[in-house]
Amino acid sequence: MRLRARVGVFRTDCLTSGPRTTPSRTSGAYRLSVTDLDKLVRRLRGLTPRAWQAHDRAGVVRRLANELVAIGGEGHQLPDLPDYVLADVIAVVGADALAKDEAATSKLLAAALDQTR
């Protein structure tokens, strides 16, 4: 008995792509600073314990967090935190600081991106 190869076992005629969507429009400066914040947070979340200690990255990020708190969170103080949670701290206080003073926050984020490479 010969087996016949089955053609078209997995139908693909129903797998059409839908219409393309475009992101909502935002102002240029806001979009860039959010992107910088996202880049920095993603970079920090990927650091190993050894990488946190290299080139004083932990110190740079702690100073950045304190500066962002000073901009965005009146009356807030950061407690003593382990290095691995600093990325989440930057995400939260960075968003608050962007809402208060976009220009100063953008400068701080750009500097932190350079210093954490």
pLDDT digits (tens, 9 = 90+) for 87-102: 999 999 999 999 999 9
Do the domain assignments include residue 79?
A: yes
CA distance 67 to 91: 13
pLDDT digits (tens, 9 = 90+) for 49-69: 999 999 999 999 999 999 999
Instruction: Check whether 76 has a pLDDT greater than 50.
Output: yes
Task: State how far the alpha carbon of 90 is from the alpha carbons of 5, 11, 31, 59, 61, in Å.
Answer: 57, 47, 17, 13, 8
Do the domain assignments include residue 4?
A: no
For 18-35, what is the mean pLDDT? 55
Q: Is the dihedral of CA 88, 76, 69, 103 positive or negative?
A: positive
CA distance 53 to 96: 27
- Which range of residues forms the domain containing residue 86? 33-53+61-115
The count of structural domains within the chain is: 1
Do the domain assignments include residue 25?
A: no
Q: What is the pLDDT of residue 33?
A: 45
